[in-house]
Amino acid sequence: MRRKVSIFGSTGSIGCNTVSLIEAQGGAEAYEVVAVTGATNLSLLAEQAVRLKAKYAVTSIPSKLTDLQSLLYGSGITSLAGPEGLLEAARVPVDWTMSAIVGFAGLAPGLESARHGGVIALANKESLVCAGDLFMRTCREHGTELLPVDSEHSAIYQALCGEKMSEVERIILTASGGPFREKPLADLTDVTPEQACKHPNWDMGQKISIDSASMFNKAMEVIETKYLFGIDGDRIEVVVHPQSAVHSMVGFCDGAVMAHLGPTDMRGSIGYALNWPERRPLPLEPFDLVALGRLDFAAVDHEKFPSVNLAYRALREGGLAGAVFNAAKEAALEGFIAGFIGFLDMSRLVEHVMDEIAGEAAQFGSEYDLSDVQRIDGVSRVAARSWISRHNRK
C-alpha cells in the first residue's frame, strides 16, 4: 500500500528537498500525496501538485485561489486557499506530514496535523518555540510520532536512539556562527540583509539564513530542544563549530559524548524523517573526513549575539514567553529586511518586547490553547511594530 503523505510548505527550501526525495523514492507510484502547500509561487505549487498527483494544492493567500484554480484546470486536483484551506488539508488523515511552512503561520496547520496520528516531520521549529507544551501534548494525546527535521535535533534524536533520557546529562547544540562569526561587533551595525543571507555552510530559505547570522536561529533551537527532548534549559549548551560537520551532541552521565556527523545537506535529516524507522540510501555527497581535515569549537560571543541568552530567558520565564520571543523576532526580521532597523536592533527589539509582555505571557504556565498563543503573538507584534516605528532608520 502506498504511504499517504502531505507536504506543508512544499514550495520552500525544505519543501522542495522533501519533494525531490519523495520523487527519488518513487514519487506518485510509491506515495499517495494528499496535499502540497505554498504561498506566492503558484506555478511551482501547481507543477508539484501535478507531478505528485496530489489531491489538494493549497495557497496560503486567499486572493490567489482563482489563479491556482486556472493553473490546475482539468487536472482533477482541488485548489484551496487561505488559513482555512491549510486547515482543511491538514484535517485529512495521512501517515506522514512534512511541516515546513516558515514562521508562526506553520503552527495552526501543524497542530491540526498533529491531531490525526501518524508521523509529523517537524521543520517548523516555531511550533515548539511558540507553543511547545501545547504541541507536544497534542502529539501525545493523538499518538502522533514527532520527528525533528532541524539538522541539530535530528542528530540528537539519532544519538538518543536506545538511550534513556534519565542518563543524559546535557545536550550540546552546534552553531556554525554564521557569516559574521569573525566580524567585530562594531562592524555589525550596518550589515545588510544580503550579507546576512550568505550562510557559509547551509543552503536555506532567506529568513532562516538571516536568523542564522544573528544566531536567533540557534536561540530558537535551544527552545526547540527543551520541548522535543524534555530537558531543562540549564542542561542545553550551544557551542560554535564553524565546519558544521558535527550536527550536535549528547553528553551522558558517564562522561561519554555521542556526536552525529555528516554532510551539510538538509536532505540528510529530511530523508531520515521520511524513511524512519528505517534508513535508506540518500543522494548526498560522500562525507570526506580527510578533506574536512579538522573540527573547531569555540564559545558563543554573547555580546555579539545576545539572541541566544534571550532564548534561555524565555525558557526560564516559561508559559508563553517563547511566543513573545518568536513574534518579536519575526517582526524584527521583517523590519531588518525592509531596512527599517539595523542588524543589532533585532536583539534590542526582542529584549524590549520581552520586558513588556513576557511577564504576562509567563502566567499561562503550560495550560493554554491556540487562541491564547494567537493573542500573545498578536500583542507582541503590535509592541514590536511600535518599537520599530520609534527607531525607524528610513
For ligand NAD, which stretch binds (CB under 6 A), given 74-82, 94-102, 129-137, 172-180?
94-102
Beta bridge partners of 173: 238, 248
Q: Smallest distance, Å, CB 259 to Mg ion?
A: 15
Q: Assign 3-class secondary structure to 346-365.
A: HHHHHHHHHHHHHHHHHCCC
Specify the residue, 328 or 352, whose C-beta has the smaller distance to ligand NAD: 328
Could you say which of ligand NAD, Mg ion, none residue 14 binds, taking C-beta under 5 to 8 angstroms by partner kind?
ligand NAD
Query: What residues numbered 12-51 form the site for ligand NAD, per CB under 6 A?
Result: 12-15, 38-39
> DSSP states of 271-328 as a string?
HHHHHTTS----------HHHH-----B---TTT-THHHHHHHHHHH-TTHHHHHHHH
The secondary structure of residue 256, as a DSSP letter, is -
User: Site for ligand NAD (CB under 6 A): how many residues?
Assistant: 25
Residue 337 backbone dihedrals phi, psi, to 5 degrees: -65, -35
Q: Which residues pair with 80 in a beta bridge?
A: 58
- Within 140-159, the residues that bind ligand NAD by CB under 6 A are 150
Strands 257-261 and 78-81: unpaired
N-terminal to C-terminal alpha carbon distance within the chain? 58
Q: How far is the CB of 391 from ligand NAD (least distance, A)?
A: 25
* CA atoms of 268 and 218, how far apart (whole Å): 19
Number of residues near Mg ion (by CB under 5 A): 3
Q: Which is nearer to ligand NAD, 238 or 352 (CB)?
A: 238
Q: Which residue is nearest to ligand NAD (CB)?
A: 12
Q: How far is CA 77 from the centre of its chain?
A: 28
Nearest 5°: CA angle at 158, between 165 and 367?
50
Q: Residue 87 contacts by C-beta under 8 Å, 6 or more apart in sequence?
A: 108, 109, 112
Least gap, CB of 141 to ligand NAD (angstroms):
23
Q: What character string, x for contact with ligand NAD (CB under 6 A) and - otherwise, covers 176-215?
A: --------------------------x-xx-xx-------
- 126 contributes a contact to Mg ion by CB under 5 A: no
Give how far the C-alpha of residue 201 lies from the chain's centroid of Cα atoms, to the nearest Å.
Answer: 17
Of 5, 6, 11, 57, which one interacts with ligand NAD (CB under 6 A)?
A: 11
Helix H, strand E, coil C: the string for 11-28 is CCHHHHHHHHHHHHCCHH
Query: Which one among 5, 34, 119, 123 touches ligand NAD, defined by CB under 6 A?
Result: 123
In terms of CB distance, is 175 or 376 closer to Mg ion? Answer: 175
- Hey, what amino acid is at 9? G
Q: Which of 112, 133, 150, 330 binds Mg ion (CB under 5 A)?
A: 150
- The 335-374 contact track toward Mg ion, x by CB under 5 A, reads ----------------------------------------
- Which listed option, ligand NAD, Mg ion, none, makes contact with residue 123 (CB within 5 to 8 Å by class)? ligand NAD
Give strand ranges (E) for the chain. 3-8, 31-38, 56-59, 78-81, 96-99, 119-122, 145-148, 168-175, 236-240, 246-252, 257-261
| 350 interface partner picked from ligand NAD, Mg ion, none, CB below 5 to 8 A per type | none
Q: Which is nearer to ligand NAD, 148 or 318 (CB)?
A: 148
Binding residues for ligand NAD restricted to 328-387, rule: CB under 6 A: none
60 binds ligand NAD (CB under 6 A): yes
Q: Which position's Cβ is nearest Mg ion? A: 150
Q: Footprint of ligand NAD on this chain (CB under 6 A)?
A: 9-15, 38-39, 60, 100-102, 105, 123-126, 150, 202, 204-205, 207-208, 266
Q: Footprint of Mg ion on this chain (CB under 5 A)?
A: 150-152
